[in-house]
Amino acid sequence: MTTTALEASAAAATAAEAKTVKVLVWDLDNTLWQGILLEGDAVSLRPGVAELLATLDARGILHSVASRNDAEAAWEKLAELGVADYFLYPQIHWGSKASSVREIAAAINVGLDTVAFVDDQPFERDEVRAELPEVRCFDASELAELAARADFQPRFVTDESAMRRRMYQADRRRREAEEEHEGPSEEFLAGLGMRFVIHPPRDEDLQRAEELTVRTNQLNTTGYTYGYDELDALRCSPDHLLLVAGLEDRYGSYGKIGLALVEKGAEAWTLKLLLMSCRVMSRGVGTILLNHVMTLAKAAGAKLRAEFRANGRNRMMLVTYRLGGFREIAKDGDRSILEHDLETIQGFPDYVKVEIPEGGDGDP
């Protein structure tokens, strides 16, 4: 299959996935639970809520709270009901729910068009719709229908999908530890014991690789998305190199957080796609995969080029290329071709252990 055909089919393959809900934000009173907490009601979970929380969590859909309530009392009740651990970055206060939803999306680092909001009050839903039209809003009476909706069913549910909440919770612990650290940032990073692994995708990695192309658009050099079958074909193609990267540290695994797709020509290799998860950029590992590809191209005696397509959110990746020594050699609309002379390639950071198992060096 040609690269052009792959790009065309991949764009169509994941159109529905792009609209999958990534975060469900809950109201509490008469929504998550029955009754009004501060009026002294003996509140209990709405029937089916515990099952819905668990089902969506297993699919990798995250949960949060936007509630006008007393924060301490509400959180105590969530803990008492045994569901507090599901909720990331809860916003429990007397302010605007639209502002709360916006804060949650920013904290989790997802687009508002991947957020859903459920509330029993029409006024609250209307306020969120008016200020955040991208957010999907649901009445509490619709809760029983959510799990069956197409936009609450990711194309694939991977092992990492099921771990997503715990990964975010680990990220929060890392950030708290970093905020408490009083020494140089390099000292903190060195203490994390990071291990960065680069290898061709195994069968079990292909679903996550597809998910990465769909979910990652800020740190994605072209915005191309690839389906499972396309990635499988590329993995087996002698004219392409497909690599995935994973990261872990003493707080746990970040999962698969990087992907590189290279088209290997006789004289020049072209990076068709390079992406990294936003969650790891502050860890100082953002250029490891790129530098590895540069090393492989140089060893093969090929030039290295890179394609970049602006999508309105990925300028950081163009900056990464330019700071890494790439220069633009051609431009057509929003598509740029850059090239690196490969004379100088940065080494890996001292505070990261980089492992490249068999096959990660470009040989099958």
Written as one string, the DSSP assignment of 54-115 is: HHHHHTT-EEEEEEES-HHHHHHHHHHTT-GGGBSS-EEESS-HHHHHHHHHHHHT--GGGE
What is the per-residue pLDDT for 10?
43
What is the per-residue pLDDT for 29?
98
Two structure tokens written together for 80: 């008492």
| 335 vs 90: CA distance, rounded Å | 40
Which domains, ranges and CATH numbers included, belong to the chain?
A: 3-11+185-355 (3.40.630.30), 21-152 (3.40.50.1000)
| 214 vs 212: CA distance, rounded Å | 5
Contacts by 18-21 with C-beta closer than 8 Å and gap 24+? 18/214, 18/225, 19/113, 19/114, 19/151, 20/114, 20/151, 20/152, 20/153, 20/154, 20/155, 21/61, 21/114, 21/115, 21/116, 21/136, 21/151, 21/152
Helix (H, G, I), strand (E, B) or coil at 31: coil
Closest CA to 3 of 340, 272, 350: 272
Phi, psi angle pair for 38, to nearest 5°: -80, -5
Q: How many CA atoms within 13 Å lie on the side-chain side of 245?
A: 27
Closest CA to 327 of 294, 305, 296: 305
What is the per-residue pLDDT for 360?
61
What is the per-residue pLDDT for 218?
75
What is the per-residue pLDDT for 159?
79
Q: Tokens 């997802």: give the residue.
A: 110
Q: What is the largest CA-CA distance in the chain?
A: 74
Tens digit of each residue's pLDDT, the chain (364 residues): 454 544 443 443 344 344 899 999 999 999 999 999 999 999 999 999 999 999 999 999 999 999 999 999 999 999 999 999 999 999 999 999 999 999 999 999 889 999 999 999 999 999 999 999 999 999 999 999 999 999 999 887 887 888 899 999 998 898 899 999 999 988 999 999 999 999 999 988 998 898 888 776 678 899 888 999 999 999 999 999 999 999 999 998 888 999 999 999 989 999 999 998 877 877 878 899 999 999 999 999 999 999 999 988 888 899 999 999 999 999 998 899 999 999 999 899 999 999 998 766 655 5
What is the per-residue pLDDT for 290?
95
Q: Tokens 């509630």: give the residue.
A: 67
What is the per-residue pLDDT for 5?
45
Alpha-carbon torsion 175, 179, 180, 181, what sign? Answer: positive
Q: Tokens 């890179």: give the residue.
A: 306
Closest CA to 58 of 139, 149, 132, 156: 156
What is the per-residue pLDDT for 50?
98
| 79 vs 86: CA distance, rounded Å | 10
**Hey, what amino acid is at 22?**
K
Alpha-carbon torsion 263, 264, 270, 274, what sign? Answer: positive
Q: How many CA atoms within 13 Å lie on the side-chain side of 108?
A: 30
